[in-house]
């Protein structure tokens, strides 16, 4: 079972690489503002999780430099559980202007959030 899951993960990564989405083009200034805003967001994820791949593809489509933290690493896993409350990925950590932190689970919700804010 573990081998099959590993194999499926590699296939997902390969397909994602081969059919990488096109990135949105913005003016230099617009992209700079987006890059700054993105510094407040981090995606807790597993590299080969299909839901995480889906979110990363949406970020690429929108030209968002989304920082990722691999929740298989003990440090990020612990941060995710402590902050978000669940060991589930993908999870987007959002730091608001007032310093408040929101932990958003569910790939569809994360993608909808990124599209609403940055599309």
Ligand X SMILES: N[C@@H](CCC(=O)N[C@@H](CS)C(=O)NCC(=O)O)C(=O)O
Residues found near ligand X in the complex (CB under 6 A) = 46, 49, 51, 87-90, 106-108
Q: What's the min distance (Å) between Cβ of 79 and ligand X?
A: 15
DSSP assigned state of 26: -
Nearer to ligand X, 31 or 77 (CB): 77
Smallest distance from ligand X to CB 93, Å? 14
Nearer residue to ligand X within complex by CB, 11 or 39: 11
């Amino acid at each position: 079972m573990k081998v099959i899951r590993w194999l499926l993960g590699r296939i997902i990564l390969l397909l994602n690489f081969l059919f990488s989405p096109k990135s949105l083009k913005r003016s230099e200034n617009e992209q700079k503002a987006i890059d700054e805003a993105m510094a407040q967001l981090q995606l807790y994820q597993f590299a080969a999780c299909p839901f995480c791949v889906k979110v990363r593809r949406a970020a690429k489509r929108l030209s968002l430099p989304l920082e990722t933290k691999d929740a298989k690493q003990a440090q990020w896993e612990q941060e995710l559980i402590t902050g978000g409350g669940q060991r589930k990925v993908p999870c987007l950590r959002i730091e608001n202007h007032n310093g408040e932190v929101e932990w958003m689970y569910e790939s569809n919700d994360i993608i909808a959030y990124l599209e609403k804010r940055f599309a």
